[in-house]
């Protein structure tokens, strides 16, 4: 089957609340859908959803670059293997636009599987597998964060991830302690994400305070790019460290190896839209596992189109620990989908249908 036409569609996702991070507050998010057609039939769709102030790609050029991708894909035969998908995506990929490569790969894999939103043929897509996820606590006032914590606990989550670095550190410690006073680490796993909020000079002391609360890990305690400081922290830390923003903009395999050898983190966080797609994510995983570095995946606040692809990738990779894939309920105007959440797990609800795009 041949790709006879391709188009892009812009969509602005609207948050249900002001989502606070140490980099600022999010109220909306731009995303673009890459659609592939055979004659008039939609045969594949992928999402390019960069995140302002985090992604390397300039949002004002997204539409132009996606139009160029459409022109390259028109006339191609739908690939019949994942390797062929990756080869086409590499050729069509505009350098410096990692979320576009993710969209290309996803749209082609969807087309390869018949245009059914199946990216990988796994038990997750068939409604037979559930993936454990963490409940995400956004920054805000103490009262707002307490409310979120209670809602996640009431909803059955046994892994809670709290964003820290926006309000004062003592208040954040008290919020975490309020959970730990009620639940042991065997009952509730606690993760924190600093988004680079700590100063290198104060980071080790703060990590020591956090470690007293039996946390699972902390993501990106200091800003990315301070390789020596991060390597020192990962060597001395009493609390496992996960690299996140540190991986941005690194696409060559040799540089990936070099970075992980230099820093030697305990974990890495994988966001396919940020890292250059599915193939690049798989490469990070292979390198990390060769160095006994753990990993998990998270969405980058994509709509349900991108989230669906990442959930299916997680299933394909047979993940075990909780993933960061609970973001589908953040928006007023998300695309209706079968992706559902119950008791701290995400699953594909076969009784639900995809909405129109």
The string of DSSP codes covering 3-19 is: --EEEEEEEEEEEEEEE
Catalytic residue among 163, 206, 223, 256: 163
Q: Which two tokens stand for residue 25?
A: 């507050």
Any residues with CB less than 8 A from the CB of 57 and at least 6 apart, and which? 50, 96, 97, 98, 99, 100
**Cβ-based neighbour number of residue 303 at 10 Å:** 24
In the chain, residues under CATH classification 3.20.20.120 are 131-348
In the prediction, which pLDDT does 138 show? 82
In the prediction, which pLDDT does 213 show? 96
**271 carries an active-site annotation:** yes
In the prediction, which pLDDT does 54 show? 82
**16 carries an active-site annotation:** no
Per-residue confidence in pLDDT tens, the chain, 357 aa: 899 999 999 999 999 877 766 566 778 999 999 999 999 899 999 999 998 878 889 999 999 999 999 999 999 999 999 999 999 999 988 778 999 999 999 999 999 999 999 999 999 999 999 999 999 988 778 888 889 889 999 999 999 999 888 778 999 999 999 999 989 999 999 999 998 999 999 999 999 999 999 999 999 999 999 999 999 999 999 999 999 999 999 999 999 999 999 999 999 999 999 999 999 999 999 999 999 999 999 999 999 999 999 999 999 999 999 999 988 788 999 999 999 999 999 999 999 999 988
CATH tag, 5-112 = 3.30.390.10
CATH topology of domain 131-348: TIM Barrel (3.20.20)
Cα distance between the two ends of the chain: 23
**pTM attached to this predicted model:** 0.94
In the prediction, which pLDDT does 53 show? 77
The residues with which 345 forms a beta bridge, in sequence order, are 132, 342
**Cβ-based neighbour number of residue 132 at 10 Å:** 20
Distance CA 157, CA 161 (A): 10
Kindly list the strands in the beta sheet with 267-270, ordered across the sheet, starting from the edge strand earlier in the chain. Answer: 135-137, 159-163, 189-193, 217-219, 241-243, 267-270, 294-297
In the chain, residues under CATH classification 3.30.390.10 are 5-112
Q: Which two tokens stand for residue 157?
A: 């989550």
Catalytic residue among 117, 206, 256, 271: 271
């Amino acid at each position: 089957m041949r790709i006879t036409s391709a188009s892009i569609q812009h969509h602005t996702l609207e948050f249900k609340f002001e989502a606070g991070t140490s980099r600022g507050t999010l109220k909306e998010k731009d995303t673009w859908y890459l659609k592939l057609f055979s004659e008039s039939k939609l045969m594949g769709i992928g999402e390019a959803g960069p995140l302002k102030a985090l992604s390397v790609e300039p949002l004002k050029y997204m539409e132009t670059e996606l139009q160029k991708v459409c022109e390259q894909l028109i006339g191609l035969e739908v690939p019949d293997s994942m390797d062929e998908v990756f080869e086409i995506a590499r050729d069509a990929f505009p350098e410096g636009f990692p979320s576009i490569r993710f969209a290309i790969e996803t749209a082609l894999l969807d087309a390869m599987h018949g245009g059914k939103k199946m990216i990988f043929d796994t038990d997750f897509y068939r409604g037979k597998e559930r993936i454990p996820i963490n409940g995400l606590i956004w920054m805000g006032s103490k009262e707002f964060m307490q409310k979120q914590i209670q809602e996640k606990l009431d909803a059955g989550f046994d892994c809670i991830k709290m964003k820290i670095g926006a309000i004062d550190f003592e208040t954040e410690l008290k919020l975490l302690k309020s959970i730990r006073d009620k639940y042991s680490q065997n009952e509730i796993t606690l993760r924190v994400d600093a988004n680079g909020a700590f100063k290198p000079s104060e980071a080790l002391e703060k990590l020591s305070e956090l470690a007293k609360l039996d946390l699972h890990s902390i993501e990106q305690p200091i800003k990315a790019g301070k390789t020596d400081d991060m390597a020192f922290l990962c060597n001395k830390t009493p609390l496992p460290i996960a690299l996140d923003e540190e991986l941005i903009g690194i696409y060559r395999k040799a540089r990936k190896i070099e970075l992980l050898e230099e820093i030697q983190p305990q974990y890495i966080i994988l966001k396919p839209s940020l890292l250059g797609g599915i193939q690049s994510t798989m490469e990070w995983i292979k390198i990390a596992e060769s160095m006994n570095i753990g990993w998990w995946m998270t969405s980058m606040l994509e709509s349900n189109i991108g989230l669906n692809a990442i959930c299916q990738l997680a299933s394909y990779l047979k993940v075990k620990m909780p993933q960061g894939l609970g973001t589908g309920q953040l928006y007023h105007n998300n695309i209706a989908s079968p992706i559902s959440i119950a008791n701290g797990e995400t699953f594909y609800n076969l009784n639900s249908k995809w909405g129109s795009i």
